Amino acid sequence: MKVRSSLRALKQKPGSVVVRRRGRTVVVNRANPQWKSRQG
């Protein structure tokens, strides 16, 4: 799966984790929960 460039920018932030949930790529951030994103 191609990863969207916005997800790449979000995964560089401190505290962010890239997770696969039900076939979707999700970026969650424990340090700042505002930086959440999903693809797919």
The model's pLDDT over 6-31, given as tens digits with 9 standing for 90+, comes to 889 998 999 999 999 999 999 999 99
pLDDT at 22: 93
| Alpha helix segments (H runs only) across the chain | 5-11
Taking the alpha carbons at both ends of the chain, their separation in whole angstroms is 9
pLDDT at 4: 87
pLDDT at 32: 92
CA–CA gap between residue 31 and residue 40 (Å, rounded): 24
pTM of the model: 0.75
pLDDT at 26: 93
pLDDT at 1: 73
Residue 11 lies in domain: 1-37
Total number of domains constituting the chain: 1
Question: Which of helix, strand or coil describes residue 12?
Answer: coil
- The pLDDT of 32-36, averaged and rounded, is 90
Identify the residue whose tokens are 């962010």: 16
